Amino acid sequence: MQRSADLDLSPRILLGPGPSAVSPRVLRVMTTPPIGYLDPEWLAFMDEEQALLREVWQTENPLTLALSGTGSSGMEAAIANFLEPGDRFIVGVNGFFGNRMCDMAARYGATVTKIEAPWGEPIRKEQIADALKQGPAKMVALVHAETSTGVLQDLTGVADIVHGAGALLMVDCVTSLAGVPVKIDAMGVDVAYSATQKCLGAPTGLAPFTVSPKGVAALEKRKKPTANWYLDLAIIAKYWDKNRAYHHTPSTALHYALREGLRMALEEGLEKRWARHRANAEYLWAELAKMKISLHVAPEHRLPPLTTVKIPDGVDDPGVRKRLREEFAIEIAGGFGPLAGKVWRVGLMGFSSRRENIAALIGALKEIL
């Protein structure tokens, strides 16, 4: 007896802040049956996945892996592992996710120094230097791609300032990895995490994570283990390295999908993929300009995978989004916090970053507005 109906969700063109669309090729590999977490074939799979992750992150970091949680678990792991009670933590807050870092860090007993910019602007390097001059810090965190505001944070020269003051540089790459240039080693980033459901074009559920040798040295100097056992890198690393020590059972389905997403990104080529994300964003921006609709972020700070669109005066924000969804099967998102009711957030990430999707959105907006 069937206890409920077969799964039957409506199709959607996903142009929100994530999840983004997943290619049929990635979806299909998830039907591969599971395999044991110590099976030699699975261990070989993990080694290959790690190599693909390093290539996409543009890093040689040995400690590169995918955590068993969403992108948010990546942020938590960065904070839980690299901060101890009393450590000073300098956080660039220019959107929702910087605020979340402050919340998390306070829970672990860190002393948080916020450096702020309006929602829609980047953090300036001088602000970081000033905060470091006021006293030493364990770590400085920036959001590379603020999904709540559509700002791409320029990281040029930041690592020199941070390392010069003896601190680690942590960067949130949730919406940047595989969508805009992310070069962990060249940028001097010590701790970075991302998510699978944004520009990587895989389903939600894993958090790609990478730690520099300097970051590993800091981990080894901890006085006490982190409170967070599930995300404790010191023990998780022993499963990903030659020890193969059991920590928890990984989700084979999600890892199969992530590997396929990574392969597709590398087959396309990172440079070409970054260029595709930018070209499609520019197409969207140009079409909106033709409609006299303006954008929230100045051109030089715009994040191609996520555009914040100023809602034209007198337009019914939720009403338009509802019509887009119901009449055109298109999802875009509203704004958070100070941008609620002021902007729409349009994501062009991974497999969703396609010209036909932009044409559909523009056509639908012309019909509705």
- Window 33-92: residues binding a copy of itself (CB under 8 A): 33-39, 41-42, 45, 48, 52, 68-73, 76, 80
325 is a site residue for a copy of itself (CB under 8 A): yes
9 is a site residue for a copy of itself (CB under 8 A): yes
Q: Is 49 helix (H, G, I), strand (E, B) or coil?
A: helix
What's the Cα-to-Cα distance from 276 to each of 50, 150, 279, 358, rounded to whole Å?
Answer: 25, 17, 5, 13
Query: Between 206 and 311, whose beta carbon lies closer to a copy of itself?
Result: 206
Task: Decide if 168 contacts 160 (C-beta within 8 A).
Answer: no
Give the DSSP letter string of 1-13. Answer: --SSPPP-PPP-E
Please report which helix (H) or strand (E) contains residue 276, including its range: helix 270-290
Q: Shortest distance, CB of residue 171 to a copy of itself, whole angstroms?
A: 19
Single out the segment in contact with a copy of itself by CB under 8 A; choices: 7-15, 123-131, 184-192, 337-345.
Answer: 7-15
User: Considering only CA atoms, which of 270, 209, 257, 259 is closest in space to residue 81?
Assistant: 209
**Phi, psi angle pair for 209, to nearest 5°:** -145, 140
What's the Cα-to-Cα distance from 301 to each of 117, 146, 154, 264, rounded to whole Å?
Answer: 13, 11, 8, 28
10 is a site residue for a copy of itself (CB under 8 A): yes
What pairs with residue 143 in β-bridges?
Answer: 172
188 is a site residue for a copy of itself (CB under 8 A): no
Question: What mask of x and - would describe binding to a copy of itself in positions 17 to 36, judged by CB under 8 A?
Answer: -xxxxx-x--xxxxxxxxxx
Question: What mask of x and - would describe binding to a copy of itself in positions 102 to 121, judged by CB under 8 A?
Answer: -xx--xxx------------
User: Considering only CA atoms, which of 204, 175, 164, 173 is closest in space to residue 191?
Assistant: 173
Task: Decide if 303 contacts 181 (C-beta within 8 A).
Answer: no
229 is a site residue for a copy of itself (CB under 8 A): yes
Query: Between 333 and 358, whose beta carbon lies closer to a copy of itself?
Result: 333
195 is a site residue for a copy of itself (CB under 8 A): yes
250 is a site residue for a copy of itself (CB under 8 A): yes
Contacts of a copy of itself in 298-317 (CB under 8 A): none
100 is a site residue for a copy of itself (CB under 8 A): yes
1 is a site residue for a copy of itself (CB under 8 A): yes
Residue from 251, 279, 310, 323 touching a copy of itself (CB under 8 A): that is: 251
Q: Shortest distance, CB of residue 267 to a copy of itself, whole angstroms?
A: 6
